[in-house]
Structure 1
Amino acid sequence: MKTTIHKLDDGSDALILPREMLDSLNLQSGDQLQIIETDHGIILRPVADRFERQMKAAREVMDKYQVGLQKLAK
C-alpha cells in the first residue's frame, strides 16, 4: 500500500493513511500513533488507549439501547 506526503495550507506536511488501512487497524480520526525510527524505516504503533475507546463504545451502546437494557435489568 502506498501513500503520499501532502503540504497543508499552514505550510506543514501531513502523511495521510488510506481508509482501508485505518479500518483494518481499527484506527479512527484523533487516535494517537507512536513513531519509531529503525535502521530499516519507521514503525507506526497505536498508543495504548484502548480502555478509553472501549468505555466510549460501551457508553454509546448503553445510550442506544437504554430502554431495552433497563427492561433486562428488572
Structure 2
Amino acid sequence: MPTTTKVITVGNSAGIIVPKEMLSRLRIEKGDTVYLSETPGGLQISPYDEEFATKMAAADRVIRRYRDTLKKLAE
C-alpha cells in the first residue's frame, strides 16, 4: 500500500521515515541493514539476506568477467 513520507536531514546525509507498520511487514527493525534497489517504478526496500547477498556478489563477478560476451548475446 503506497504511503507518503518526508526526506529529512541526518547529519550530512538524508534519510526517510519508515512507518512502524511497514517495518513490521518487512520484518526489519531500527539498525537493520536493508537493500535499496532502483526499479522502473521507483525505489524498492527489502530486508538484507546474507545468502542472497553472496549469490548476487557471485553473479556480479560473472557479469563483470563476461561483460562483452553478454553484450553480444543481448544484441
- Structure 1: gaps (5+ residues): 50-74
- Structure 2: gaps (5+ residues): 51-75
Q: 1:25 deviation in Å? A: 2.1
Tell me the TM-score normalised to structure 1 length.
Answer: 0.55
Distance (whole Å) between structure 1 residues aligned to residue 45 and residue 25 of structure 2: 14
Residue correspondences, number: 49
* Percentage of pairs with the same residue: 29
1:8-57 CA-to-partner distances (Å, cap 9, x unmatched) read 2x2321111011111222211111111111222111111115xxxxxxxx
Distance (whole Å) between structure 1 residues aligned to residue 23 and residue 13 of structure 2: 22
The correspondence of residues 1-74 of structure 1 with structure 2, limited to 5 A, is: 1-8=3-10, 10-49=11-50
Distance (whole Å) between structure 2 residues aligned to residue 3 and residue 16 of structure 1: 6
Question: Which structure 1 residue ranges, 4+ long, deviate > 4 Å from structure 2?
Answer: none
Tell me the TM-score normalised to structure 2 length.
Answer: 0.54
